[in-house]
Amino acid sequence: MVDLLLGLQWGDEGKGKIVDVLTKEYDIIARFQGGPNAGHTLEFDGIKHVLHTIPSGIFHKNAINVVGNGVVIDPVIFKKELDNLEKFNIDIETKLFISRKAHLILPTHRLLDAASEASKGKAKIGSTLKGIGPTYMDKTGRNGMRVGDLEFDDWKTKYRALADKHEAMIDFYNVEIQYNLDELEAEFCEGVETLKKLTFIDSEEYIFKAQAEGKKILAEGAQGSLLDIDFGTYPFVTSSNTTAAGACTGLGVAPNNIKNVLGIFKAYTTRVGSGPFPTELFDEDGATMAKVGNEFGATTGRPRRCGWLDLVALKYAVQINGVTELMMMKADVLSGFDTIKVCTAYQYKGEEIQHLPYSIEEEYVTPVYTEMKGWSEDLTKLSKAEDLPATLNDYIAFLEEQLNVPIKIVSVGPDRLQTIHR
C-alpha cells in the first residue's frame, strides 16, 4: 500500500516536517522526483535538519529510505548531506537505497542552468541553480547519465562526452560565467566515490516486492503542485511532475496501488523565485508573514514572497492530485491578524471565475477575497484539537467546506511535537 504526500502550493509547505512526523507509521519513505532544488526542514530535540535529496524519514530507525528513479542526484550535494548526518550514527548502507535509474546532475548541468538564467535577464525563472532543468532535459533528450552507469568501468568516458557537449552549449549562451571545470570535476569525482559506497537498487523491483509483502510506503514529494512542469505556472515551474502522477513514474507505483493522498498547504501562501502569484502582498501583512514565518528558502536562503491563501489554486491542486486528506501548516504564523483574507475567486477578463485560467499573470487576474475574523492566541504550545481558538476552527471549517476534504493535521510550529491531529 502506497500513500503520497505532496505540496499543494509553490513548495516549502512543510513536507519535511510532516514526513518526519508520519514516518513511524511507515516501513519505507521514498522520494520520487526533484533533486537538491528541494530543501526539506525537520526539527526535533532542539536541532534543525535540512535535507535536499535524502528522504525525510532518515532519522527514524524503523524505516528504509529510497531515492527513486524520478529523482536527479548531485553527488557533490549528496556527499555534503551525508557528511552532515555522520554525527547521528545512522546506518546509511542499510537505511538508504538509491535507484540505479535516477539521473545524475553533472557540474556542467549547474553551469548550464546559470547560463540559461543569465541569458534570460529579467525573464529568468529564478531557478535554484542546482542544474535541475538541464539534467531533466538530458533525461528526456535521452542523453543523461544515471546512477547505474557508475557500476560500469566506462562511466568516465560517458561523463566526458556529455560534459564536452555541455561546454559547447555554455559557449552558445554567450554570457559571462566564471568557472574552473577541473576543480568542479575533482569535487564531482569525490562525490561519486561517496555515492558508490551506498546501496544501489532496482527501486521499482524493490517497491513491487515491498507492496507484495504488505509493507507501508510513503512517497515524499518535492516542490509543489503549482511548480509542476505540466500543471504549474509554466514557464515559472520546475522540470518534473510534482503532482500525484509523478509518484507513478518516479517510483514505478501503479495508480491503483495508491491509497491516501496527503496534501500539505500553508495557512497562507509563499513563493520563492519568479512567476505569477495573484494573492501576493507588498504591505505590512506580507512583511509580518515573512518575519513571523521566517520565510527564507531552505536551499538558497532567498526571501520567500508571501500572500493570503489562494483557494482557487488550492482547489485545482486538490483535484489534480486526488487529495484525500489535508494538512494545514504554519497556523501559528497567522496569530495576531485581526482579519484573515482568503481568495475564493478571480476577476478574469471582466468576469468572476473559480478555476485556474491559462495565465494567472497579474495583468489578467485580480483576486476576490472573503474576509474572516482572525485569532490572537499563541498556538505554539497547543497539542490538542479541542484547544484551538474558535475563530481558527471557523477558518478550518470554511476551508474544509470549500475544498470538500478533511484537514487532519494542523501544524503550530516547526518542531515535530508542534503537531495537532484532528
Residues within window 9-48 making contact with ligand GDP, judged by CB under 6 A? 11-17, 38-41, 43
Query: Is 397 known to sit in a ligand binding site?
Result: no
132 sits near ligand IMO (criterion: CB under 6 A): yes
Query: Is 35 known to sit in a ligand binding site?
Result: no
- In the set 116, 238, 344, 419, which binds ligand IMO (CB under 6 A)? 238
109 sits near ligand GDP (criterion: CB under 6 A): no
Q: Which amino acid is at 150?
A: L
Are 104 and 66 in contact, with CB atoms under 8 Å apart? no
125 contact choice in ligand IMO, ligand GDP, Mg ion, none (CB below 5 to 8 Å, kind-dependent): ligand IMO
* Burial class, 164, CB count within 10 angstroms (exposed 0-12 / middle 13-18 / buried 19+): exposed
Choices 10-18, 186-194, 226-234, 309-317 (CB under 5 A): range interacting with Mg ion: 10-18
Does 158 qualify as catalytic in the annotation? Answer: no
3-class SS string, the chain: CEEEEEECCCCCCCHHHHHHHHHHHCCEEEECCECCCCCEEEEECCEEEEECCCCCCCCCCCCEEEECCCEEECHHHHHHHHHHHHHHCCCHHHHEEEECCCEECCHHHHHHHHHHHHHHHHHCCCCCCCCHHHHHHHHHCCCCCEHHHHHCCCHHHHHHHHHHHHHHHHHHHCCCCCCCHHHHHHHHHHHHHHHCCCEEECHHHHHHHHHHCCCCEEEECCCCHHHCCCCCCCCCCCCCCCCCHHHHHHHCCCHHHEEEEEEEEECCEEECCCCCCCCECCCHHHHHHHHHCCCECCCCCCECEEECEEHHHHHHHHHHHCCCEEEEECHHHHCCCCEEEEEEEEEECCEEECCCCCCCCCCCEEEEEEEEECCCCCCCCCCCHHHCCHHHHHHHHHHHHHHCCCEEEEECCCECCCEEEC
**Distance of alpha carbon 215 from alpha carbon 1, whole angstroms:** 7
332 sits near Mg ion (criterion: CB under 5 A): no
Nearer to ligand GDP by Cβ, of 260 and 347: the residue is 260
Report, in Å, the least distance between residue 32 CB and ligand GDP: 15
Nearer to Mg ion by Cβ, of 13 and 285: the residue is 13
298 sits near Mg ion (criterion: CB under 5 A): yes
Residues within window 344-403 making contact with ligand GDP, judged by CB under 6 A? none
Pairing state between β 339-348 and 351-353: antiparallel
Nearer to ligand IMO by Cβ, of 73 and 132: the residue is 132
**Distance of alpha carbon 237 from alpha carbon 243, whole angstroms:** 12
Check 52, 109, 130, 139 and give the catalytic one: 139
Grid cell digits, residue 78: 549528496
Binding mask 33-52 for Mg ion (x = CB under 5 A): ------x-------------
Does 166 qualify as catalytic in the annotation? Answer: no
411 contact choice in ligand GDP, Mg ion, ligand IMO, none (CB below 5 to 8 Å, kind-dependent): ligand GDP
Does 60 qualify as catalytic in the annotation? Answer: no
411 sits near ligand GDP (criterion: CB under 6 A): yes
Report, in Å, the least distance between residue 340 CB and ligand IMO: 23
**Site size for Mg ion (CB under 5 A):** 3
Residues within window 299-338 making contact with ligand GDP, judged by CB under 6 A? 329-330, 332-333
**Distance of alpha carbon 355 from alpha carbon 346, whole angstroms:** 8
228 sits near ligand GDP (criterion: CB under 6 A): no
Grid cell digits, residue 411: 501544524
Report, in Å, the least distance between residue 380 CB and ligand GDP: 7
128 contact choice in ligand IMO, ligand GDP, Mg ion, none (CB below 5 to 8 Å, kind-dependent): ligand IMO
**Distance of alpha carbon 188 from alpha carbon 247, whole angstroms:** 28
Nearer to ligand GDP by Cβ, of 73 and 147: the residue is 73
Nearer to ligand GDP by Cβ, of 14 and 148: the residue is 14
Query: Is 275 known to sit in a ligand binding site?
Result: no
Interface positions with Mg ion (CB under 5 A): 12, 39, 298
Interface positions with ligand IMO (CB under 6 A): 7, 10-12, 34, 37-40, 125-128, 130, 132-133, 222-224, 227, 238, 272-273, 298
Annotated binding site for GTP: 11-17, 39-41, 304, 330-332, 411-413
Q: Which residues are catalytic?
A: 12, 40, 139
Interface positions with ligand GDP (CB under 6 A): 7, 11-17, 38-41, 43, 293, 298, 329-330, 332-333, 411-414
Annotated binding site: 11-17, 37-41, 128, 142, 223, 238, 298-304, 330-332, 411-413
